[in-house]
Amino acid sequence: MNATTGRTQAELLERLATRLQASWERDPLFIDPNVTPGLTPKQMTALRRASADAVEPGLPHFIAIVPTLPIPARSSDGWTRFTADLAYTMHEKTGADRTLVVFTEAESAARTLAYLVDDNGPSIPTGSDQLQRSASGDFLPVELAVPHHLGVLLATAKGNEPPPPPDFNPPDVGEGDDDYIEAMGLDNGDPDALVFAATAVAAAGLGAWLLRRRTKYEWRTTLTTAPELTRAHNLIRRCERSLSELPEPVTDDEAQWSLFDRGRRVQNAIAAIIETHPGWASDPDFSHRHAIHSLTRTDAWVRRSLGAASARLAAASVRLTAASAKRRADEAGGEPQFCFFFPSHDRDIEPFAWTQGRTTLTVRLCADCRRDLNAGHEPECLMVPKNTGVRKARPIPYFQRHDAYALSGFGSFAALEDAVAEYGAPGSGQR
Ligand SMILES: [Zn+2]
């Protein structure tokens, strides 16, 4: 939510990196101890076998099975960057021509990242995208996802055709010998393990939720270009205003200086985004405009608040009437609120208890997104085509693109200006 949270997340990831590297020196398969109780003996065996089968001279491999990580580490950009960096570190350590590294969150193998690393850096081979599905289109449980990703990496490293997705069809379970739950020993009567297993098998939760969105929008071939924003909100002018000098507080009040610092972070974030995406105002891709829109709203509020404070001071020292000082303070209004799903939504933001699986998360939502969820379906704004220039644009959630806006989009609780300060403007030279 703020820079402190960001630092805590960074520390958490740093500790994870240290633990992984230490463990990988002994065994290429790392299973986090927090995850182990949720895995059945057969799942463990399947994972060990996958690691043993992947042993190939000259092609070292490393596997990390980790628990679901807290946000914003969980947000696509932070996690992708962390895993890609660590994969490259491991490659440098091995000194091999190529190194295979697979990261997966045990509870949701949809969040698997598989890297083939050479001296140029890590790459994700075709057929190894994050949301891996089986031949029947079902989401793979961890004990199938890991060997499959390893197989794709090995095939790519050797220049072979990648293997087809495995056969896995959860609706088939319960039919005699084909019962997947029984076969994997998942039905062990432990409610927690059952929920855990059900998550893996039935792909409950966010992963499946996103998959459904993806299927639903498969017909889309053009970029989403609405809402337009630039003209509607006079964004070019507002952007110039936001970049103009921010008046320093004329007091040593700490709250005022902290507000001023936030204003400076907002300015830095706007500058970074404009530098990375000079065509932000007219680009058919809309999402950088959303970032600018959100940031200029915060900037306007910071300026109003700083102005109101100096008006109060002026009223105290000069003969500005108490009434006019109060009016200027009122005009400052409240801090702008952003919708959890889409930060540019600003209609009637209110807290909303959003239930996903067993977890209820209180998030701030706009009236439209609340209406969508209350009507029993997801907000329609989430899915956007991946990019232009390809024949069939693959729809993905907007926050998984390298867009300026994605940093504080769905799944992140970080303020956009803080996220840009920590990660840089997306699209600025990262993979
Ligand atoms: Zn909304």
Q: Are 185 and 41 in contact (CB under 8 A)?
A: yes
Residue 285 is predicted with a pLDDT of 67
Domains contained in the chain, number: 3
Q: Are 323 and 266 in contact (CB under 8 A)?
A: no
Quick check: is 429 in a domain? no
Cα 408 to middle of ligand 1, angstroms: 13
Cα 229 to middle of ligand 1, angstroms: 15
Domain boundary among 165, 182, 204: 204
Cβ neighbours of residue 177 closer than 8 Å, sequence gap 6 or more? 183
Residue 175 is predicted with a pLDDT of 38
Residue 267 is predicted with a pLDDT of 96
Residues 322 and 358 reside in one and the same domain: no
Q: Are 342 and 301 in contact (CB under 8 A)?
A: no
Cα 321 to middle of ligand 1, angstroms: 40
Residues 68 and 161 reside in one and the same domain: yes
Cα 42 to middle of ligand 1, angstroms: 43
Quick check: is 214 in a domain? no
270 lies in which domain range?
Answer: 235-332
Cα angle: 84, vertex 89, 92; to 5 degrees: 125
Cα 336 to middle of ligand 1, angstroms: 14
For 357-383, how does the pLDDT look when each residue is reduced to its tens digit (9 = 90+)? 555 667 788 898 888 788 776 676 665
Residue 137 is predicted with a pLDDT of 56
Residues 325 and 410 reside in one and the same domain: no
Q: Are 179 and 332 in contact (CB under 8 A)?
A: no
Cα 360 to middle of ligand 1, angstroms: 18
Q: Is the pTM of this model over 0.85?
A: no
Residues 312 and 389 reside in one and the same domain: no
Residues 52 and 167 reside in one and the same domain: yes
Residues 356 and 318 reside in one and the same domain: no
Residues 316 and 387 reside in one and the same domain: no
Residues 365 and 305 reside in one and the same domain: no
Residues 20 and 56 reside in one and the same domain: yes
Residues 44 and 98 reside in one and the same domain: yes
Cα 381 to middle of ligand 1, angstroms: 8
Domain boundary among 299, 332, 365: 332
Cα 411 to middle of ligand 1, angstroms: 13
Quick check: is 355 in a domain? yes
φ/ψ (deg, to 5) at 251: -140, 165
Other Cβ atoms less than 10 A from the Cβ of 248: the count is 11
Quick check: is 216 in a domain? no
Going by C-alpha positions, the residue among 202, 207, 216 that lies closest to residue 379 is 216
Q: What is the mean pLDDT of each run of 10 residues along the chain (431 residues)?
A: 55 86 94 81 87 91 84 56 84 89 74 80 65 58 83 87 70 41 45 32 34 44 65 92 92 90 95 90 78 92 84 62 54 75 81 69 82 75 55 54 60 72 66 27
Residue 420 is predicted with a pLDDT of 82
Cα 97 to middle of ligand 1, angstroms: 47
